[in-house]
């Protein structure tokens, strides 16, 4: 295993401190906890908290800032943060208007975030929860009951965060978040698996001429393995599964995300995006916004995912609203 690290046990701690060192204008760390919050502290609006296992950077700490998250909780690599960590984040960001938890649909995340919500409500903090399950690859997995939450979560951060920044109350921010969740779908693939530092080996083996279709973001293998082909053909297979959902049709307006899994060159992501646009153009679906890059990664996995979000006027307004975070800046 080749990794640019010091000690395996210190990775998350050193990463969080390094983020604070790089972006002190955006984030600060809660002392004694794996939690990043806005540098300026809590404000009098609905607050958003998200998080999960580390290894998905820039998710989730990279989205703490104006127009997106108020707090992000980091578990160990691919491991859910504990309820007490989430509880501390809720307390730190609460400005009196309540807190919305954005949870990716993984069993540990759901359980621990819900426990934290109960703890906060016992102290009089109003908490609501939404669960993102945008991955169309599988209905259930060893990690989940129901579909997994993957890159589409970033659209929830952005749009619900903008709604909160605009002054909507907690119930309305939750409604907006749930509208995003209802209209966002994703699917991914891998050319090569990732290496979890504590394991010291790749999470699954691929031959030189093989790819994995339908992967998750924790190094999980996908739905099936096949021979590698050109990226247009691969993108078609991911899009075919997304379109099979039946929620995207001619005349719709969508946001597109071509998300790198951590080890894929931007050159290749842009090539994939070119074909995604060609397919959507051919179906009469208008693209209102495109994001290409590393938004929700899986350590050093080589591959990409495609996410489509169907927009209406409300979602489009909040998607295009200003944001200022370490990993997402929009004016």
Catalytic sites, residue numbers: 56, 218
Q: Do 92 and 32 contact (CB within 8 A), yes or no? A: no
d(CA 35, CA 268): 33
Q: Which of 177, 173, 154 is nearest to 46 (CA)?
A: 173
What the block records as the tokens of 123 is 């102290």
d(CA 100, CA 137): 27
Which tokens hold the place of 135?
A: 């991955």
Neighbouring residues of 104: CB distance < 8 A, sequence distance ≥ 6: 52, 131, 132, 148, 149, 150, 153
Count of alpha carbons within 13 angstroms of residue 172, beta-carbon side: 14
Among 227, 234, 220, which Cα is nearest to 304's? 234
């Amino acid at each position: 295993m080749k990794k640019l690290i010091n000690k395996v046990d210190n990775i998350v701690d050193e990463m969080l401190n390094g983020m604070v060192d790089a972006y002190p204008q955006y984030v600060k760390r809660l002392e004694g906890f794996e939690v990043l919050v806005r540098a300026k502290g809590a404000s009098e609006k609905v607050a958003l908290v998200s998080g999960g296992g580390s290894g998905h950077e820039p998710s989730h700490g990279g989205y703490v800032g104006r127009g997106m998250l108020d707090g992000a909780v980091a578990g160990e690599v691919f491991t859910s943060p504990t309820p007490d960590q989430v509880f501390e984040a809720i307390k730190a960001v609460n400005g009196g208007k309540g807190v919305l938890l954005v949870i990716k649909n993984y069993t540990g995340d759901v359980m621990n975030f819900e426990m934290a919500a109960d703890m906060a409500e016992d102290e009089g903090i109003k908490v609501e929860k939404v669960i993102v399950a945008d991955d169309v690859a599988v209905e259930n997995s060893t990690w989940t009951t129901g579909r997994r939450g993957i890159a589409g979560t970033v659209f929830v951060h952005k749009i619900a965060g903008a709604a909160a920044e605009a002054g909507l109350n907690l119930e309305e921010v939750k409604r907006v978040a749930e509208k995003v969740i209802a209209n966002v779908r994703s699917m991914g693939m891998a050319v090569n698996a990732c290496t979890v530092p504590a394991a010291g080996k790749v999470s699954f083996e691929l031959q030189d001429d093989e790819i994995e279709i339908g992967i998750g973001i924790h190094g999980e293998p996908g739905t099936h393995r096949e021979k590698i082909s050109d990226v247009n053909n691969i993108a078609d297979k991911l899009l075919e599964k997304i379109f099979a959902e039946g929620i995207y049709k001619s005349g719709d307006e969508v946001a597109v995300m071509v998300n790198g899994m951590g080890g894929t060159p931007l050159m290749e992501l842009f090539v994939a995006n070119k074909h995604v646009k060609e397919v959507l153009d051919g179906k009469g679906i208008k693209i209102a916004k495109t994001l290409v890059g590393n938004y929700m990664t899986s350590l050093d996995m080589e591959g990409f995912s495609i996410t489509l979000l169907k927009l209406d006027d409300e979602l489009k307004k909040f998607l295009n609203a200003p944001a200022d975070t370490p990993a997402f800046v929009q004016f």
